Structure 1
Amino acid sequence: MEMTLQLTIDCADPRGMVAFWTEALAYVPEPPPGGQATWRQYWLDTGVPEEELPEGAGETSESIVDPAGTGPRVWFQCVPEAKSVKNRLHLDLKVGGGRGVPLAVRTQRVTDTVDRLTGAGATVFRVMDEPGMDYYGVVLQDPEGNEFCVC
């Protein structure tokens, strides 16, 4: 049996999340299949009833994909409620290079990525920089408050 992996992130603004996470992951918005103009048209053509599609759903991409085809698809599912507690699952963006890379180099790589992502709308939540540890990482929050790590 074939299986694929999709990450689904609940959110209030799929368009905003697509914009942020394409920058964060170097992904691209997923085009609608079969040459359809929009995802909404694709869903309607596959038999999804109009009344099941919220207003505006599928007019722009609500999912992103790895252009290399190796990473999982990420779908941003519009939900009415706001995030209220800590994530039970989060993403780690591993940019440092691992312990074989000097700590100063890893720290700079993390810092450069954090600067880029805060410029795209993320906020710093916590810095993981304990004295005496050969580790540096930063916990960020995306524009809707979902935590993720850059390490």
Structure 2
Amino acid sequence: MTFDSADPPTLAAFWKTALGYVDAEPPAGFADWPAFFRHHDVPADEWGDVAYLADPTGAGPRISFLKVPEPKVAKNRIHLDLQAGGGRGVPWEVRAPRVRAAVERLVAAGARVLREDEVDGRLDHVVLADPEGNEFCAV
């Protein structure tokens, strides 16, 4: 999975917090990312143009963040749902406080709330934007 980004290290830091991910290890055979970049003749001033995250359990996808010159201009056609509440099988009285706690944590990390959506008068999910405006939901 890859995010286009104006500032890959900053956006990666947000998603590392949001997802509980870690910085990805460099490819096999390289002690660190600078060694990998040097091997591939990437100029030092471009090393911050990428960032890589990995799920520490190995279950989730790796995520890349690549610098692009153009800004985000429209709604995402795909987005992530962070399953903060435990799913719709969890009673609303348990799920809603979990979602609200996750939203507080995400806002503290740099997200902003776009809207709260309700079903039958109860909180169902919250639509947020990451620091570069990419939409995602806390469900």
* TM-score normalised to structure 1 length: 0.82
Aligned to 2:45: 55
Letter of the 1:24 counterpart: A
Displacement after TM superposition at 1:135 (Å)? 5.6
Task: Tell me what 2:93 maps to.
Answer: 104
> Could you tell me whether the CA contact under 8 Å between 2:116 and 2:123 is conserved in 1?
no
Aligned-residue identity in percent? 47
Unpaired runs of 5+ residues, structure 1, are 1-6
Unpaired runs of 5+ in structure 2?
A: none
Q: Distance in 1 between matches of 2:121 and 2:116?
A: 13
- Verify: 1:117 aligned to 2:106, yes or no: yes
2:85 pairs with 1:91 = no
Displaced runs of 4 or more, over 4 A: none
CA RMSD of the aligned region, Å? 2.0
One-letter amino acid of the counterpart of residue 47, structure 2: A
Structure 2 residue aligned with 1:32: 26
Between the aligned partners of 2:101 and 2:135, the Cα distance in structure 1 is: 18
- Matched residue pairs, number? 138
Preserved contact between residue 40 and residue 58 of structure 1 (Cα < 8 Å): no
Which structure features the higher share of strand residues? 2
**CA offsets 1:79-112 (integer angstroms, 9 cap, x no match):** 0111000011110101211222111211111000
Aligned position for 1:18: 12
